[in-house]
Chain A
Amino acid sequence: MSSTFEQIANIIAETCDIPRDTIKPESHAIDDLGIDSLDFLDIAFAIDKAFGIKMPLEKWTQEVNDGKATTEQYFVLKNLADRIDELVAAKNAGTGTASGS
């Protein structure tokens, strides 16, 4: 099975028509790859479906707006992969909702 990062990178490449080899674990989805909020909705839809989760985008956005988190924590792809792994683990453990919100 491919890694979470590999799956995310493939989704981004396909959804946003970005060359796959330019998408790195260190890439920031917004700052480096130029993904806007609408495209990110499409990516979120694909990720939610692929992993069977509900990424808490509103919660993350609120945390960034409130200064409680940085965009890097959620939008650098290796970090996004970690967040997704956490959501999947929470879902598999049956600890409440997979959304965290």
Chain B
Amino acid sequence: MQLEYFQLIDRIVDLNIDDKTIVVEADVPQTNTIFEGHFPGHPIMPGVLLTEAMAQSSGWLLLGLMKFERMPFLAMIKEAKMRGFVNPGEVLTIDAKVEHEGSGFAVTSAQVRVGKELKCNAELTFRHIPFPHPDLRVHMDAMAKKIGFPLQALAHD
């Protein structure tokens, strides 16, 4: 997890194109300036970053379903529930599932767990468009490689 670059996902554990699900992991850093302010004496992962982690997990799933031909952008967050504190050094397991594929948009549900404990969940809506700049596509390809995106999963159509 590189919070300064908003790179919240470390590993893709499972991607199931047929079931339209993904499981990823993210290592919350032990130290970060964010924790100095959020909060002194009680450092916890901000809810907005947990929500972003769910969005990025969903985003990788949608990128896979769209074979990296279009880029999803977060458009709507519903029913986001922060159910428990996430502490520095913990490992997040994030599950996301596509609930609906519309025309130019998709809806996912996602949840974050630490161990077996559910920490937060939300329903997320994304607009998706063709990659707006070639640099973004290059970046996403590099990130996909870095987090172990199983490109072979896209080739089984």
Binding site for B on A (CB under 8 A): 38, 41-42, 44-45, 48-49, 54-59, 61, 99, 101
Contacts and interface: CB of A to CB of B under 8 A. Distances in A.
B104 A58 contact: yes
Interface string B119-155: 0000001010000000000000000000000000000
A41 B75 contact: yes
List of 4 A-B pairs having minimum Cβ-Cβ separation, nearest first: A57-B103, A58-B104, A58-B103, A56-B103
Contacts, number: 37
Q: How large is the interface on B (under 10, 10 to 19, 20 to 34, 35 or more residues)?
A: 10 to 19
B76 A54 contact: no
Interface of B: 75-76, 100-105, 107, 125, 127
Given A55-B103, A56-B103, 12 more contacts: A41-B75, A41-B76, A42-B76, A42-B125, A44-B105, A45-B100, A45-B102, A45-B105, A48-B102, A54-B103, A57-B102, A99-B103
A86 to B, nearest CB: 15
A65 to B, nearest CB: 13
A67 to B, nearest CB: 20
A59 B125 CA distance: 20
